[in-house]
Amino acid sequence: MGPSAFLRPPLWPPETGSPRAGANEGELCFHCAAPVHSGAQWRARIDGAEQPFCCAGCLGIAQTIRAAGLTDFYARRTGRAETPPNAPDEWTHYDIAAEAQGLITRVGDHQEISLLLEGIRCAACIWLSESYVQRIPGVIEFRVNFATQRARLAWSAPRTSLSDVLRAIAAIGYRAYPYDPARREALARREGRALLTRTAVALLAMMQVMMFSLPAYISIDGVDTAQARLLAWASLVLTLPVVLYSAWGFFAGALRDLRIRRLGMDVPVALGVGAAFIASAWATVTGEGAVYFDSVTMFVALLLVARYVEFNARQRAGAAIEAIARERPETAERLPGYPETQNTERVAAAELSPGDVVRVAAGATVPADGEVVSGSSSVEEAILTGESWPRPKAAGATVLAGSLNRESPLLVRVTAAGEATKAAAISRLVLRAADERPRVARIADHVAGWFVAVLLVIAAATATGWAEIDPSRVLIVTFAVLVVSCPCALSLATPAALAATAGALGRQRIFAVRADALEALSRVTHVVIDKTGTLTTGTFCLIAAEALSDLDREACLSIAAALEQGSTHPVATALRSAGIATASAGDVIAVPGQGVAGTIAGRRYRCGRPAWVGGLHGLPLPAVADALAADAIPIALGDQSGWIAWFTFGDTLRPGATELIGALRALGIAVSLVSGDRRATVEHVARCVGIDAWQAGAAPETKRAFVAARQREGRVVAMIGDGINDAPSLAQADVSLSLGSASALTQWTADIVVLGEDLRAIGVAIKAARRSFRVIRQNLAWAFVYNVVAIPLAATGHLTPLAAALGMSASSILVVANAWRLTRLASPREEPSLRRTNPAGASR
């Protein structure tokens, strides 16, 4: 059983509540054999069976023993183990279990872990939890993702512990656990059902209370006093579950905020609902004064509707972000006796090691990176490219963990497993991207916090003023002020748009790794792009092969492949893939920068640069050399008697290169090609894709200086690079992008990573960034204008609480709905401005 399976419930004790189903009286602790109380909830799966424990300490020790592979201890022991002294609370358990299960990552002198937070409802919750936890001595960083409720915690172990942080989070009303996707899904379902139930109760009560209030609104002569009191009492009874159940989350949130001396979004809501309900209940009991049960129920119902809409939007965005992290299977079919036997055993994917052979059935997911040793099939590599079109795979082909085998079984030799796979690297990249929050979001959260304080001051001033003007209207006007304000719209404006954009880009396999990457990308005015590996694939292929002797083309390729058999040069790789060596070459000598020489069947051959090959026989270059393209690489084959063959190699344009340049121009973005390659090659590629400004022979520092020069001119520069030598210019640029095939250093340096091979995705990312921040500006402008107009109207008595409740809810829903438009992101194939105009987009 692998770590991922062991981490699922019941590894982590469930929240305090009723005992687990199936718990029996008289159970004994698996570790110390002490009696287990009926309400104890510490259980874990040990050696395939679920075992009970009397306390968190015994559970943690057992898990440590299990993680170390020493569970034979329980079979060999002759007496009961000792109960740990001073059994720790539920949080101390995590210090032991998280370390044992490898959930904690050590980075330099500190530790990191991913947590799942329960109780996060809006951006204000994120701001509160981040602000509070980051004040704990020893906490280096604490960031919460709005869409996934996933938090990244970094702390210094000598100064604090994981349990200290979890205990502090619990103290402010949230609960945190080591992150588990399965637990997150269960939590989301539970929260969704609870929120829907609260909303349904509030809506049903609102409709009935509105019916009871209708006579007072439409009666010309007024309602009989006895009837009015009866309707008021009926409304009170129906409003009680709304206040005590549906609105309880607002009161709990407000109490939590006030307990730590913070003014969160729930404070004005709780004040308004509480004051209006208490005043209405008092008026009902005494028979004096007006009642506002209809306003209370409508306000709570509409606010819950708005939060339910926001909750669903957040969950959908989070699901898109998390999808890649769940691509890898948990188990695999290993062939321990291969090739002698074909017997299989089911093991955890995390237990695979390089060299293992696994069987991947048709329709199954590849559990590790590897090389096909037997079988042929088609494999869908959407995890890497975002393209669902299957690619053919046969013996010798590379397959990636997370890929889906579509047709026939494959035997795969593992080259990388677990956290060393490409899928694991992508998962880390995705989760790292999801944790980042841009500057504009932090500013919006800060402003929203101050907004609540200003609102309470305005409400107090309104109450004071109306106490002088018309004391009978103090409550209703003040309630309207508290209700009509919409700090939630202000707080949701940015994170809702960013979550929707991140989810949409994630489905296209585009990830903003740095916090402010999308903001910078939306302002880009100049793009600097590298050639090799970026505009081109960086992979040499044989463009032409011309026989210059009595040998045919296949024979020439066979000789060249035999000579290059032991070489790792890209040209040698291309030659070997183009020809099949039918003979072995002897006395092979590799001459750096020139080529290889060897003997086949008694004849001495050279394969390499034409001038060097010509030195073997002294003949002039063949006529085919005169027709060589500017960017082509010539390789000659010859012996002592003369020229045998002429091979032409070249790099190919990456799919979508021409369309990307056209799209950038259409957006008004200048484009420059800066490459370290020779002038003729760079000029040819620039002409092919339509770039007018280009520079050849650029060293890494020259590229960085080029970017810096454009920045000094006042331009916002994006750098698109691939290789390690692009890292300085990527770091210099305002925003940097790299492709999934880039080096690990380049991906780590880049702000945005595009996992696919199609360059048109970069155009999609730029358009999405511009749309995202256009929507953010719209949302912030709406929230500002709405509050500036609505609050004075409410404060001057021109808005009733009913109208205020409608306005507040409509404002929140409008912000979320406007942001949700960003989820409709066209793929590179569907985007009109990025459609391929040249079917041979990857040709030369």
Q: Do 512 and 408 belong together in one domain?
A: no
Considering 180, 206, 230, which residue would you say is the last residue of a domain? 180
Show contacts of 838-843: CB within 8 Å, 24+ apart: 838/658, 841/653, 841/655, 841/656, 841/657, 841/658, 841/659, 842/537, 842/652, 842/653, 842/654, 842/655, 843/652, 843/653
Which run of H or E residues covers position 477? helix 474-484
Distance, in Å, from the CA atom of 253 to the CA atom of 126, rounded to the nearest integer, reads 13
Looking up residue 372, the CATH number of its domain turns out to be 2.70.150.10
Q: Is residue 803 part of a domain?
A: no
Q: Do 373 and 349 belong together in one domain?
A: yes
Q: Do 348 and 237 belong together in one domain?
A: no
Show contacts of 198-202: CB within 8 Å, 24+ apart: 198/245, 198/246, 198/249, 198/304, 199/246, 199/301, 199/304, 199/305, 199/308, 201/241, 201/242, 201/245, 201/246, 202/242, 202/246, 202/247, 202/297, 202/300, 202/301, 202/304
Q: Do 618 and 705 belong together in one domain?
A: no
pLDDT along the chain (844 residues), means of 10: 32 34 59 66 74 71 62 54 48 61 69 81 70 85 76 83 84 77 75 90 92 74 74 92 91 79 76 86 85 85 79 66 62 87 83 89 87 88 64 85 85 86 71 64 70 85 90 85 72 74 80 80 92 78 85 88 79 74 80 86 91 90 76 86 89 85 92 85 85 87 90 93 74 85 55 82 90 88 86 88 78 81 70 48 34
- Per the structure, how many domains does the chain have? 6
DSSP per-residue letters across 789-827: HHHHHHHTT-S-HHHHHHHHHHHHHHHHHHHHGGG----
Q: Is residue 815 part of a domain?
A: no
Distance, in Å, from the CA atom of 469 to the CA atom of 465, rounded to the nearest integer, reads 6
Q: Is residue 714 part of a domain?
A: yes
The pLDDT of residue 624: 82
Q: Do 348 and 232 belong together in one domain?
A: no
Looking up residue 553, the CATH number of its domain turns out to be 3.40.1110.10
Domain assignment of residue 91, given as a range? 3-98
Looking up residue 732, the CATH number of its domain turns out to be 3.40.50.1000
Q: Is residue 843 part of a domain?
A: no
Q: Do 311 and 350 belong together in one domain?
A: no
Q: Considering Cα of 817, then 820, then 826, then 832, what sign does the dihedral take? A: positive
Q: Is residue 668 part of a domain?
A: yes
DSSP 8-state class, residue 48: T
Q: Do 312 and 446 belong together in one domain?
A: yes
The pLDDT of residue 123: 61
Report CA dihedral (384, 388, 392, 397) to the nearest 10 degrees: 10
Looking up residue 142, the CATH number of its domain turns out to be 3.30.70.100
The pLDDT of residue 408: 85
Considering 704, 736, 765, which residue would you say is the last residue of a domain? 765
Q: Do 649 and 717 belong together in one domain?
A: no
Q: Is residue 300 part of a domain?
A: yes
The pLDDT of residue 88: 44
Q: Considering Cα of 821, then 822, then 823, then 827, what sign does the dihedral take? A: positive
Residue with tokens 């280009």: 694
Q: Do 175 and 189 belong together in one domain?
A: no
The pLDDT of residue 745: 44
In this prediction the pTM is: 0.63
The pLDDT of residue 598: 92
So which residues are the catalytic ones? 530
Q: Is residue 831 part of a domain?
A: no
Q: Do 472 and 574 belong together in one domain?
A: no
Q: Do 30 and 81 belong together in one domain?
A: yes
Considering 153, 180, 207, which residue would you say is the last residue of a domain? 180
In this structure, are residues 644 and 559 in contact, taking their beta carbons and an 8 Å threshold?
yes
Q: Is residue 137 part of a domain?
A: yes
Residue 821 sits at φ, ψ, to 5 deg, of -60, -25
Q: Do 312 and 459 belong together in one domain?
A: yes
